[in-house]
Homo-oligomer: A and B are copies of this chain.
């Protein structure tokens, strides 16, 4: 790995009370599908989907300079997952994913073949563990990282990547726009256990020193090839911004809020030509197909405010994305579709319905949406509300929003806050969709809660460290971790303890009833 001024230092070691285990799917003994095993104090355990890679494996040796070891069995030059699924093949990645999701491998293959799911796995990124994005599977979340011209270093971004996957990020997008774009991405790719996405336009614009008018197809194409070679798994391409769409944004409250969208609109107007991303889309497809890089067709005209939600500009672009989806799929490229943005709750479901209609149910990948504009500083919450609703309606992956959204570049704490908020949204949607395994974790935690197994409550939660720390704030002593109350209600008012007494009393009554010869029990109403 090329030298950088400060060596990254990342968080390693298991999550509290958990150990990393691996399982191999049938017929694929070399595959090691990771799980986080939560070891409970009552002797039981629960195995959870795990995105954190070797960093949480006590037995793994981490060498950031060398990068993660390559996964065995990566096949090159045999086409994309889409092409192979259509041919009826079960790839090693599909078998890995079926074991990981706990679903039949045929479901994985068939959903990929239909284009309703994607497996973003560039042949040149063998460090990543295969995962799937599609509405038939667990809802996934993406964490954006990357520096800007104003802030951050390579080491910080590698640290954020490991930190985000530790807490559950299923993919990472490196959105760097500042110094050392290639180098930052190299360090991230070689060390990332999850697929990595980018917006190649950002690096291209750096090459024109920030002038959109100077962008060319050739410059863009070469940047895409550079990133494909490096191992980027999916790329946001704002090819749906057309000349005729731009006037539709003029009366908007917040205009064009996608960076890529605004850059392409500026280019189109400067040249008075249709975007080079649109006019060269088929060639772009063929480049991506060679590496099996997945398209993430960007919503360059997504609404940036409640006022602009679901407007003509947004839906006109979505229609164009539908056309592009068909072209990409016809050339064997996997596709997902990006979505808003800022949308009030009553307008959210319409986005999913239209996307599915226009884009043949290609996986929807949305940014939030924020359900209100009035809470900068808390947009992980405004958007977790929208994200949960849109995921319930069928969105396959949620791009997180951190508390710093609209205000600055997220730091380490913001990254974790964003990831946890989005794990909440994704998991809530999994429950609402009836995902077969989702409620096991809720039930395990609730049983622990009812039985005052505090340590197990912490271990089963999305963030054991914070749960324990909050409990410690008022009851730090060790006996409190087995006590039959907490500081919220104190010992006399603990409903859970009283319920146990109620159950004991009912058991007594039941015994009395049996002993008395089994008269039918009727409550005495004294009114």
Measured CA separation A517–B54 after assembly (Å): 67
A158 → chain B, closest Cβ, in Å? 19
A486 at the interface (CB under 8 A from B): yes
Measured CA separation A177–B491 after assembly (Å): 10
Residue of B whose beta carbon sits closest to that of A265: B502
A220 → chain B, closest Cβ, in Å? 15
B385 and A498 form a contact (CB under 8 A): no
Chain-B contact segment, one of A27-35, A76-84, A114-122, A436-444:
A436-444
Residues of the B chain whose Cβ atoms lie less than 8 Å from the Cβ of A494: 259
Measured CA separation A306–B491 after assembly (Å): 25
Residues of the B chain whose Cβ atoms lie less than 8 Å from the Cβ of A424: 371-372, 374-375, 378, 381-382, 385
B446 and A490 form a contact (CB under 8 A): no
Measured CA separation A469–B447 after assembly (Å): 40
Chain-B contact segment, one of A87-95, A182-190, A270-278:
A270-278
A458 and B381 form a contact (CB under 8 A): no
Provide the A438-465 mask, 1 if CB < 8 A to any CB of B, else 0.
0101110111011000000110111100
B487 and A409 form a contact (CB under 8 A): yes
A250-B503, A344-B428, A408-B487 known; A466-B305 Cβ under 8 A: no
A279 at the interface (CB under 8 A from B): yes
Q: How large is the interface on A (under 10, 10 to 19, 20 to 34, 35 or more residues)?
A: 35 or more
B269 and A205 form a contact (CB under 8 A): no
Residues of the B chain whose Cβ atoms lie less than 8 Å from the Cβ of A373: 442-443, 445-446, 449
Residue of B whose beta carbon sits closest to that of A263: B498
Q: Chain A at the B interface: mostly helix, strand, loop or mixed?
A: helix
A428-B371, A488-B409 known; A377-B243 Cβ under 8 A: no
Q: How many identical chains are in the complex? A: 2
A257 and B495 form a contact (CB under 8 A): yes
A371-B388, A424-B372, A493-B148 known; A256-B502 Cβ under 8 A: yes
Measured CA separation A43–B181 after assembly (Å): 42
Provide the A475-516 mask, 1 if CB < 8 A to any CB of B, else 0.
100000000001111111111101111110110010000000
A247-B506, A506-B250 known; A148-B489 Cβ under 8 A: yes
B527 and A278 form a contact (CB under 8 A): yes
B420 and A372 form a contact (CB under 8 A): no
A473 and B256 form a contact (CB under 8 A): no
B498 and A256 form a contact (CB under 8 A): yes
Residues of the B chain whose Cβ atoms lie less than 8 Å from the Cβ of A499: 249, 254-257, 262, 265
Residues of the B chain whose Cβ atoms lie less than 8 Å from the Cβ of A305: 442-443, 446, 449-450
A496 and B428 form a contact (CB under 8 A): no
Residues of the B chain whose Cβ atoms lie less than 8 Å from the Cβ of A8: none
Measured CA separation A237–B503 after assembly (Å): 23
A376 and B496 form a contact (CB under 8 A): no
Residue of B whose beta carbon sits closest to that of A148: B490
A149 and B492 form a contact (CB under 8 A): yes
Measured CA separation A273–B527 after assembly (Å): 10
A518 at the interface (CB under 8 A from B): no
Chain-B contact segment, one of A10-18, A104-112, A329-337, A399-407:
A399-407
A155 → chain B, closest Cβ, in Å? 17
Contact of A304 among B376, B446, B469 (CB under 8 A): B446
Measured CA separation A527–B268 after assembly (Å): 14
Residues of the B chain whose Cβ atoms lie less than 8 Å from the Cβ of A523: 242-244, 268, 272, 274
A279 and B427 form a contact (CB under 8 A): no
Residues of the B chain whose Cβ atoms lie less than 8 Å from the Cβ of A428: 344-345, 371-372, 382, 385
A447 → chain B, closest Cβ, in Å? 6
Residue of B whose beta carbon sits closest to that of A208: B492
A258-B495, A498-B263 known; A149-B490 Cβ under 8 A: yes
A526 at the interface (CB under 8 A from B): yes
A178 at the interface (CB under 8 A from B): yes
A487 and B372 form a contact (CB under 8 A): no
Q: Which of A150, A246, A270 has the most CB of B within 10 A?
A: A150
A151 at the interface (CB under 8 A from B): yes
Q: In the A-B complex, list the 5 residue pairs whose CB atoms are closest, starting with the nearest.
A: A243-B523, A255-B499, A149-B490, A305-B446, A210-B492
Give 13 CB contacts A-B under 8 Å: A249-B499, A265-B498, A268-B523, A274-B525, A274-B527, A374-B424, A374-B460, A374-B461, A378-B424, A380-B381, A385-B385, A403-B470, A408-B471
> A259-B489, A274-B526, A408-B488 known; 12 other A-B pairs, CB under 8 Å?
A151-B487, A202-B493, A210-B493, A243-B525, A244-B523, A247-B506, A306-B446, A345-B428, A373-B442, A381-B424, A385-B425, A407-B488
